[in-house]
Amino acid sequence: MISFTDVNKWYGDFRVLKDINLTIAEGEVVVVCGPSGSGKSTLIRCISRLEPIQRGHIVVDGHDVNDLKTNLTLLRAEIGFVFQQFNLYPHMTVLENITLAPRLVRGMTSGDAEKLGMDLLKKVDIPDRANHYPSQLSGGQQQRVAIARGLAMRPRIMLFDEPTSALDPEMINEVLDVMRELAREGMTMVCVTHEMGFAREVADRIIFMDEGNLVEQNSPHEFFENPQHGRTKDFLSKILSH
């Protein structure tokens, strides 16, 4: 489904990804964690070419992401992306935010798009907020709208870049519950997060990154109970003590 082969990325002289080799299977839930500046957010942003790479190959469902012949619009239609900041259009209602891309990119009629939008709002448990504006919602509700918007294109892959880090603590679970349900349904998911309880419960595999390197990857049980790398042990000792 997703493969990285010898992927390298630079920002000027700073090498942010270093010889990344990684394969993610269809239906797999992968959590990427690591300290700030480790390259984890850049890693998933490269999957949909929000960030271009300078060396190596990323292939998504048979398409080389950085091949100039690859249709980025069609590729991105298969990939839902939920960001740390919700990135909702403030001048549009919740339902309008969700239905915009299906109408413009998928060519759905307004009626079909609105039905899909309402179905997705029910899925994330806020159908009563359809005609509200983002400023009228809590942070947790806005992030659930962002997830619904990502799902509206009926993607095969969902990417989450620290989706709970901007939320008040009491709102985190309402977002994680939606992500848990997606995982149960078999969605291919790549999640950058420090929510280690979620990672332990939901992930098929956990990846630890540091200084642009993929340091360690393992099942949740092995990752938490038997980490192999000293840097992983140090990270876990700090993050699990809080």
Domains of the chain: 2-89+156-240 (3.40.50.300)
Q: Residue 26: what pLDDT? A: 97
Over pLDDT 70: what percentage of the chain? 100
Q: Residue 205: pLDDT above 80?
A: yes
Over pLDDT 90: what percentage of the chain? 93
Q: What is the mean pLDDT of residues 106-111?
A: 95
Q: pLDDT averaged over the chain?
A: 95
SS3 string, the chain, reads CEEEEEEEEEECCEEEEEEEEEEECCCCEEEEECCCCCCHHHHHHHHCCCCCCCEEEEEECCEECCCCCCCHHHHHHCEEEECCCCCCCCCCCHHHHHHHHHHHCCCCCHHHHHHHHHHHHHHCCCHHHCCCCHHHCCHHHHHHHHHHHHHCCCCCEEEEECCCCCCCHHHHHHHHHHHHHHHHCCCEEEEECCCHHHHHHHCCEEEEEECCEEEEEECHHHHHHCCCCHHHHHHHHHHCCC
Q: Residue 242: what pLDDT? A: 57
Q: What is the pTM of this model?
A: 0.95
- Could you read off the pLDDT of 145-169 as tens digits, one per residue? 999 999 999 999 999 999 999 899 8
- Could you read off the pLDDT of 13-67 as tens digits, one per residue? 999 999 999 999 999 999 999 999 999 999 999 999 999 999 999 999 999 999 9
pLDDT range class, residue 240, cuts 50, 70, 90 = confident
Which has more pLDDT, 77 or 117?
A: 117
